[in-house]
Amino acid sequence: MSCHGGYEINQLLNSSPHAGELELKVQGAAVQHDRQWLITGATGFIGREFVRALLQRGEPGNQIFLIVRGKQGVTSRDRLFAALAPILDQDAIHSLQVVDGDVRNPHFGLDAEDWNRICESSHLVHLAANTSFTATIQEARECNLLGTREMAQLARECRDRGNLKHWSHVSTAYVVGDRTDLIHPGDLRSGTQFRNCYEQSKNESEHFLKPCLTEFPLTVFRPSIVVGHSRSGAAGNFNTIYWAIRSYLSGQMKLYARGDTPLDLVPVDYVVDAMLALIDRPMAHGMTLHLAGGKSTTISLLEFAHKICAYLDSPLPDIQNPARLKILCRLLSFARLSAKRRRFIDQAQSYLPYFCQNPQFDIRLTETLLRDSNVAVPQLDQYLPNILNYCLEQPWGRRSPIPGTGYGQKNVAHG
């Protein structure tokens, strides 16, 4: 039986005789005080939405510090502005305190003054990660494992100074590699292999954090495949599932997949709202929690493809044996290709495992902890049109609609 922060999971899940006790504890969410937040990954897909949701709560006394790195001659501040300007007004962005740092470095590369300042934090949210499925193990560990260690160092100092109230670590539901069974939160056993170094480094980070779950008010959040906002459809990037759909619809690639592969998708606003609600639930501290759609929203890849094609008036996909893509890629590895073409093939290969087999995720613990909140996973049919409309409006992340396909021209109203 798994044990999290002193509470046994089955005790939480059983509706009797402990349900009443749980409800009492869950309702007794932490009282709000002035908070100093320290957030990493604010320029990313989930991080932007997290910062927006936090600001939208309009809680007085919130001070928000963000660790952002400069890149290619652009300062951290300018990069943050560019990332947040489409979703936040200027005043809101100006209320944020940008700290120039890189999570791979000791103390995030901050000088003593800045480090001391962030040691005053009451709430830590670690979202920064190298999320590339083609990263080498060295690259993935450098950011994901070392970054987690630095965050643990910060958590320790915040705690020792009497400031720490909560620490959120954002992992992934796919830490378990190529398993195909139902995964319970906190289960870290990997299958026969990891599908990429990203998964491996995230798994290693969770192993590193295991003792911290009892020492700190830490919650490890494991989202599944995160898609855009359930109402606006807005997505921070067009990677993973978006890349695959776009490549198929534009005719760049056939749909190499196993039709019965389960897909667990979750909209970004659910991830963020659930995190914000759970941070305030002492019962969630010391736990690892899935932020996934779970059984009721998981669908087969074939069914998902049919829904998309039906909505976009596209012909139904002819699913190809994934082994053919592997052979094709092997043959192409000997060919002389442009860097762009090579990148495309590498990407296709890196996503392929997720179209062949996936685990499913047990979300009962998360649902139980969120029971008296108004945060619940929406059904895919409710939000998929919004996601697709946004893709059409943004031509799937391209500057102009891809010529020669019908999907960029469909005239649809916002849901």
Number of chain residues interacting with ligand NAP (CB under 6 A): 28
Left (φ > 0), alpha (ψ -120 to 50) or beta: where does 354 sit?
alpha
Choosing from 170, 175, 284, 392, the residue that interacts with ligand NAP (CB under 6 A) is 170
Measured between its terminal Cα atoms, the distance across the chain in Å is 44
- The yes or no reply on residue 40 touching ligand NAP (CB under 6 A) is yes
Burial call 332-354: b when 16+ CB within 10 Å, e when fewer: eeeeeeeeeeeebbebbbbbbbb
- The yes or no reply on residue 87 touching ligand NAP (CB under 6 A) is no
Is the separation of the CB atoms in 35 and 44 below 8 Å? no
Interacting stretch for ligand NAP, rule CB under 6 A, among 127-135, 294-302, 316-324, 374-382? 127-135
Is the separation of the CB atoms in 163 and 36 below 8 Å? yes
Shortest distance, position 391 Cβ to ligand NAP, whole Å: 15
Q: Which is nearer to ligand NAP, 281 or 290 (CB)?
A: 290
Which tokens hold the place of 256? 């190499």
Cα separation, 384 vs 405, in Å, equals 20
Q: Please report how many Cα atoms fall inside a 13 Å half-sphere around the Cα of residue 59, on the Cβ side.
A: 17
Cα separation, 231 vs 146, in Å, equals 36
Closest CA to 243 of 163, 330, 133, 371: 133
SS3 262: strand
Shortest distance, position 213 Cβ to ligand NAP, whole Å: 17
- The yes or no reply on residue 103 touching ligand NAP (CB under 6 A) is yes
Choosing from 121, 131, 247, 261, the residue that interacts with ligand NAP (CB under 6 A) is 131
- The yes or no reply on residue 298 touching ligand NAP (CB under 6 A) is no
Q: Which is nearer to ligand NAP, 240 or 349 (CB)?
A: 240
Q: Where are the beta strands (DSSP E) in 334-397?
A: 360-361
Q: Which is nearer to ligand NAP, 47 or 185 (CB)?
A: 47
Q: Which is nearer to ligand NAP, 78 or 303 (CB)?
A: 78
CA angle 176-181-185, nearest 5°?
55
Choosing from 4, 26, 43, 253, the residue that interacts with ligand NAP (CB under 6 A) is 43
Query: Looking only at residues 305 through 364 of this chain, which bind ligand NAP when binding is defined by CB under 6 A?
Result: none
Shortest distance, position 325 Cβ to ligand NAP, whole Å: 22
Binding site for ligand NAP (CB under 6 A): 40-47, 67, 69, 71, 102-104, 127-131, 143, 170, 172, 223, 225-226, 236-237, 240
